[in-house]
Amino acid sequence: MSMSGFTENQLTVREAVSTVCAQFPNTYWQECDQNEQDPKEFHSALAKDGWLGIALPESILGGSGLGISEATMMMQTIAESGAGMQGAQSIHANVYATQPLAKFGTKHQLESTIPNIISGKWRVCFGVTEPNAGLDTLRLSTTAKKLPEGGWEVTGQKIWITCAQVASKMILLARTTPVEKVRQPGRGLSLFCIDLDRSQPGLELKRIKKMGGRGVDANEVFFENYRIPADSLVGEEDNGFKIILHGMNAERCLLAGEALGLGYAALAKAAEYARTRVVFQRPIGMNQAIAHPLADAYMKLEGAKLATYHAARLYDESRNDPSIRQDTVGVAANSAKYMAAEAAFTACERAVLTHGGMGYAVEYDVERWFRECLVPRIAPVSREMILNYISEKVLELPRSY
């Protein structure tokens, strides 16, 4: 990847994070994936050097005060090191799901959680998706019922919750007012920061067998009258959807960075193989049928890179510049996530094909990255929903759903 045009902060982050990642070779990630083994040593190494607080303000205990532009670079560097989506996902929620907490949490909530998250003592998961709502987040049905004696009782089911097996905390979006009773469609959901206390009644986790990044657990989470204290509520009751919207553009940028890292890793490995693998007495890279698709994949990644860091910069600058509207940031962040995910897919697929039969062997890593490159196309928002969004918001076409 060309490194020209990045800021000094971004380059410093890239160099320092690369040094941490270098302790975790591809064989480490192969084993995590093959044995469904949590990369806890990797999480601890990043926490030890303070990286989990990269995008939290310095005023919040232990935060580095950098922006999403630097956090995106960190996530790209992690994925590009060979850790792929597996490495990125093992810390993703710690970086991202703490954003709404940092902005809307009370002093007590911040003091009692953030230092433990940054230090790596506690891991975090993000509980939004539900089996019966899908991408229609406003239809979430997991409820948090206020108890007369104080506190809340949570009942319902979440699905695809990454790291729930190892997390001590969940940032949970749950319904506090029935959908029929809300004044506006965006109201009625509330955000909570809760303990995942497996010794308490009413909480059950079920690990999902999945295609890639198998070291990082994904789960169904079942709540049945699960009690949480009154001070778990983050921000205003019934306003949780708006609160998480605040962090969604940041998450799109981080995901775009992760996809880019994966794509560049696959492309570098493919180019190396194409230079050295000799068939018909010449390197396979001499064949344009091999070289051109790799050149094409490179340009797609470079285009997506510009879109990604443009979106991250707009996100950061919009905090102090009211002339940068949030819908402008939204269009940029969604477009970047879409382009980076598509470019990563192209690069990972070409990397497998360039390796021929060896593309199918675990030892060469590209099969692992190919399995993982589907994730940024699906989550946290699918490519179809981004196309819907651009059609409606930019092209002013009628809403299709």
Ligand X SMILES: Cc1cc2nc3c(=O)[nH]c(=O)nc-3n(C[C@H](O)[C@H](O)[C@H](O)COP(=O)(O)OP(=O)(O)OC[C@H]3O[C@@H](n4cnc5c(N)ncnc54)[C@H](O)[C@@H]3O)c2cc1C
Footprint of ligand X (CB under 6 A): 125-129, 134-135, 160-162, 218, 375, 378-382, 384-385, 388, 401
Please check whether residue 154 is in contact with residue 174, taking contact to mean a CB–CB distance below 8 angstroms. Answer: yes
Least Å from the CB of residue 343 to ligand X: 19
Least Å from the CB of residue 18 to ligand X: 25
Cis before 25 (ω within 30): no
Least Å from the CB of residue 133 to ligand X: 7
Q: Closest by alpha carbon to 191, among 228, 225, 149? A: 228
Q: How far is the C-alpha of 244 from the C-alpha of 251, rounded, in Å? A: 10
Q: For ligand X, which is the closer residue by CB, 194 or 294?
A: 194
Q: How far is the C-alpha of 338 from the C-alpha of 121, rounded, in Å? A: 34
Least Å from the CB of residue 129 to ligand X: 3
Strand partners, 144: 154
Q: For ligand X, which is the closer residue by CB, 290 or 331?
A: 331
Q: For ligand X, which is the closer residue by CB, 321 or 384?
A: 384
Count of C-beta atoms within a 10 Å radius of residue 24: 19
When CB distances to ligand X are compared, the closest residue is 134
Sign of the dihedral through C-alpha 309, 337, 303, 216 = positive
Count of C-beta atoms within a 10 Å radius of residue 113: 21
Least Å from the CB of residue 400 to ligand X: 6
Backbone angles phi, psi at 101, to 5 degrees: -65, -45
Least Å from the CB of residue 216 to ligand X: 8
Q: How far is the C-alpha of 369 from the C-alpha of 349, rounded, in Å? A: 9
Q: For ligand X, which is the closer residue by CB, 240 or 285?
A: 240
Q: Dihedral angle at the C-alpha atoms of 254, 258, 259, 264, nearest 10 degrees?
A: 130
3-class DSSP string for 182-249: CCCCCCCEEEEEEECCCCCCCEEEEECCCCCCCCCCEEEEEEEEEEECHHHEECCCCEHHHHHHHHHH
Q: For ligand X, which is the closer residue by CB, 300 or 337?
A: 337
Q: For ligand X, which is the closer residue by CB, 221 or 266?
A: 221
The DSSP annotation for 48-70 comes to: HTTGGGTTS-TTSTT-----HHH
Q: For ligand X, which is the closer residue by CB, 208 or 361?
A: 208
Q: For ligand X, which is the closer residue by CB, 64 or 137?
A: 137
Please check whether residue 39 is in contact with residue 87, taking contact to mean a CB–CB distance below 8 angstroms. Answer: yes
Q: How far is the C-alpha of 196 from the C-alpha of 257, rounded, in Å? A: 29
**Strand, helix or coil for residue 148:** coil
Q: For ligand X, which is the closer residue by CB, 162 or 334?
A: 162
